[in-house]
Chain A
């Protein structure tokens, strides 16, 4: 039980570091809101290693902390909506079974973008952002796949880690 708390701390630190690394990568795709979402790698691993409740808590803590450190009020709002929706989708798919880590991660990536899109629609009060749906879906799919492959490799190597 004690080690679970310690591991939760390690996961939080890792997620924060990955958020930081993400801010260092100067990739600009020319499209608002498209990025890899490196921190989600840790969230996916935590989902499999710690369980949905811990992953949920980790996701919220990660968003709030990295928001204070590297972002602003809006980025917290955005990431929180995306993170919660993404994690809900991932937990559901994982529970339903039949999906690999990649499949779960893809759903996470896609729903992360959908969550952000919903916030965008509510904040700017326009439906015209729906224009970005195909781009965001494709981007979420690709990012989710990459993150999923990485998470799968990580989980293979973490098999001995019993929490």
Chain B
């Protein structure tokens, strides 16, 4: 099937792929391994930091969201919002991966304990 893409279309696609590849590269360089804890934030304020090696359930925001940590992964298992996007999302375990519940302004982010300077940038 002939799709009929023009030269400029290909250039556009190439640029987008390059930018995507670049962000992946930047991320692997800045990110990397050593992820061992999750930081729970509500409305930008840190509520607590939990180790990924300790299994357990965490009630966030007086129970609007429940986060479960097991096998070194963090997964949102309950949320009181109607769309349940954060609950349907897969569990996170790699550095800087996150789960966001927008209606409740809850951010769960995986971090490594080695890099504390990254916090200064993100906040």
Contacts and interface: CB of A to CB of B under 8 A. Distances in A.
Interface stretch (B50-58, B66-74, B95-103): B95-103
Given A99-B12, A106-B13, A134 B102 contact: no
A152 interface: yes
B90 A30 contact: yes
Interface string A42-71: 000000000000000000000000000001
Interface string B92-123: 00001110101101010100000000000111
Contacts of A133: 19-20, 23
B12 A107 contact: yes
Contacts, number: 100
Query: Which one of A102, A110, A124, A140 has the highest number of Cβ atoms from chain B below 10 Å of its Cβ?
Result: A124
Nearest to A149: B3
B9 A106 contact: yes
A145 to B, nearest CB: 8
Interface residues of A, number: 36
Nearest to B99: A32
A137 B85 contact: no
A126 B13 contact: no
Nearest to B41: A126
A103 interface: yes
A28 interface: yes
| Candidate in A30, A74, A125 with the most chain B CB atoms within 10 angstroms | A125
Contacts of A130: 23
Contact of B122 (A28, A98, A110, A127): A127
A120 B8 contact: no
Contacts of A129: 98, 100
Between A134, A140, A152, the greatest number of chain B beta carbons within 10 A of the residue's beta carbon is seen for A134
B24 A134 contact: yes
A123 B107 CA distance: 11
A68 to B, nearest CB: 14
Contacts of A30: 88-90
Contact of A100 (B6, B17, B21, B121): B6
6 contacts: A32-B85, A106-B12, A110-B16, A120-B102, A123-B102, A126-B98
Interface of A: 28, 30-33, 71-72, 74-75, 93, 98-100, 102-103, 106-107, 110, 120, 123-131, 133-134, 137-138, 140-141, 149, 152
4 closest Cβ pairs, A-B complex: A103-B9, A125-B44, A137-B20, A98-B8
